[in-house]
Amino acid sequence: MPVTERLYYSDSHLIEFEARVVDVTERVSGWTAILLNRTAFYPTGGGQPSDTGTLDGMRVAECIDDGDNGVLHVVQGTTPARDAIVRGRVDWPRRLDHMQQHTGQHILSQAFVTLFNAPTRGFRVLESSCEIDVELPEPSSEKIERAVELANNVIWEDRAITIRNVTSEQAFELSLRKEPSRAGELRLIEIEGFDLTPCGGTHAYRTGEVGVIVARSWERAKGLTRIDFVAGTRALADYRKANRSAREVAALFSSGRDDIAHLAAQMVEENKELHRRVRMLEEIAAEVEAQKLLSSAREISGGTSGGTRLVTHIFDARDAESLKKLAQALMANPGIVALLASRDKDTARMVFARSADAPGDMNALMREACVLLDGRGGGKPDLAQGGGKRVDRLDEMIATISEKVAR
């Protein structure tokens, strides 16, 4: 079977090349896979997405590593014949981005090993950021920032990055950051005086090309510490986005950008206090409104206790929590059954409640009401709530449930 010479192994900055078409195959998707005798296109692998670009003007949407068979270039359009000579061009901005992220990962991973003996167990280049999963048992923002600081110092020292091809036996004698995943000849990426690890990806010539590394966030994930980071041009784009958001928020406070954290914390505390006061006022308002509703309550027969009164009302634009507070204020009075509902935009809200000495199962009544309103709900014998889609049937529902209560 043919083997593709992988030009990116020896020169990650090579973006134009000529090659011979070895094979052309139609794929189920309707696209075509072209196999070349040599390529500068990097295929998806090792957590790094594939290159894109063109072959004689045809768009290369993806490259697939077909193992010993070579690299498949997935294109759509008129394809060249076998043995044709084609000219390929790799999209440089995408290649540079991936080189910066991948090289940045090597540097950051070694920083965690150097400082905390914490190896990297996973790496992914995502659409706008990257993730590494590090074996860091007791993570903290301070530890992660220390690793990022060391990584950036290595970047700004502009150390040389070289490629070494060795046998498995030779690799065994070297101090590698991670063990090789296969036997045979190995390609090692060496960052001068800092890192040595086997890798088949594309990397910068010097650490300075990475520009800068920034940790955006971190979390515990599957027993590891997952760090979301960006490098190079992504770090600049991330800064611009974060800075724009910070300035927009600062404008809302009529303050400087650096003051917004303090002002936001202050506003959160003030908001909590306002919510507490609103809840207190709602309870007072509910008690007043309950007394008004009680004045129009009607006596009903049935049940084991005498003097039971029924309160019914349909409100407009009343949410479930407000209905519940009012229902609780009503059920605090003796001998009360309350059937409350609301037209809340395109949803019907319901809360049914009764006093401790009043008859009836509010949960059972709520289930019946939900059938009428094409909704769902439930609760306890003394208090139940629900909602439904049939706002137009609220009056009918209240009349039907009231009749059941009054029997």
Q: How far apart are the first and last CA of the chain?
A: 87
Check whether 396 has a pLDDT greater than 80: yes
Cβ burial 285-297 (10 Å sphere, 16+ → b, else e) = ebeebbeebeeeb
Q: What integer pLDDT is reported at residue 305 of this predicted model?
A: 47
Check whether 355 has a pLDDT greater than 50: yes
CB 326 within 8 A of CB 290: yes
User: Is residue 30 in some structural domain?
Assistant: yes
- 83 with 102, same domain: the answer is no
- 164 with 207, same domain: the answer is yes
| 12-to-128, 211, 260 alpha-carbon distances in Å | 22, 17, 43
Check whether 126 has a pLDDT greater than 50: yes
User: Is residue 232 in some structural domain?
Assistant: yes
User: Is residue 247 in some structural domain?
Assistant: no
Q: What CATH number did the domain enclosing 202 receive?
A: 3.30.980.10
User: pLDDT tens, 155-198?
Assistant: 999 999 999 988 888 878 888 888 876 667 888 999 999 999 99
Least confident of 116-130, 262-276, 296-310: 296-310
Which tokens sit at 179? Answer: 């063990």
User: Is residue 77 in some structural domain?
Assistant: yes
- 333 with 236, same domain: the answer is no
Amino acid in position 170: Q
- 227 with 296, same domain: the answer is no
375-379 and 383-388 as β-strands: parallel, antiparallel, unpaired?
Answer: antiparallel
Greatest mean pLDDT among 59-63, 107-111, 371-375? 107-111
The mean per-residue pLDDT over the stretch 29-51 comes to 91
- 78 with 101, same domain: the answer is no
- Cα separation of 355 and 369, whole Å? 20
Single residue among 211, 241, 271 that ends a domain in this structure = 241
- 134 with 183, same domain: the answer is yes
When pLDDT is cut at 50, 70 and 90, the band that residue 228 belongs to is very high
- 400 with 363, same domain: the answer is yes
Other beta carbons within 10 angstroms of residue 206's beta carbon come to 17
- Please report how the helices 141-156 and 92-116 are oriented relative to each other, as an axis angle in degrees rounded to 10: 120
User: Is residue 249 in some structural domain?
Assistant: no
Q: What integer pLDDT is reported at residue 26 of this predicted model?
A: 83
Which tokens sit at 135? Answer: 């074996």
What is the total count of domains within the chain?
Answer: 3
CA 334 to chain centre: 51
User: pLDDT tens, 87-122?
Assistant: 999 999 999 999 999 999 999 999 999 999 999 999
User: Is residue 19 in some structural domain?
Assistant: yes
- Cα separation of 376 and 204, whole Å? 60
- 57 with 117, same domain: the answer is no
Q: What CATH number did the domain enclosing 322 receive?
A: 3.10.310.40
Mean model confidence pLDDT for the chain: 91
- 391 with 312, same domain: the answer is yes
Which tokens sit at 384? Answer: 């139940």
> By residue range, what is the domain housing residue 132?
96-241
Sign of CA dihedral 197, 198, 201, 202: positive
| 88-to-52, 55, 80, 91 alpha-carbon distances in Å | 10, 4, 12, 10
User: Is residue 207 in some structural domain?
Assistant: yes
The mean per-residue pLDDT over the stretch 242-268 comes to 90
Check whether 364 has a pLDDT greater than 90: yes
User: Is residue 262 in some structural domain?
Assistant: no
Q: What CATH number did the domain enclosing 22 receive?
A: 2.40.30.130
- 86 with 106, same domain: the answer is no
Helix (H, G, I), strand (E, B) or coil at 207: helix
- 378 with 353, same domain: the answer is yes
Task: Please tell me the pTM assigned to this model.
Answer: 0.72
- Please report how the helices 233-253 and 92-116 are oriented relative to each other, as an axis angle in degrees rounded to 10: 80
Higher pLDDT, 106 or 307: 106
- 116 with 224, same domain: the answer is yes
Which tokens sit at 294? Answer: 């009680």
Single residue among 57, 90, 123 that ends a domain in this structure = 90
CB 103 within 8 A of CB 123: no
Single residue among 212, 241, 270 that ends a domain in this structure = 241
CB 176 within 8 A of CB 197: yes
When pLDDT is cut at 50, 70 and 90, the band that residue 78 belongs to is confident
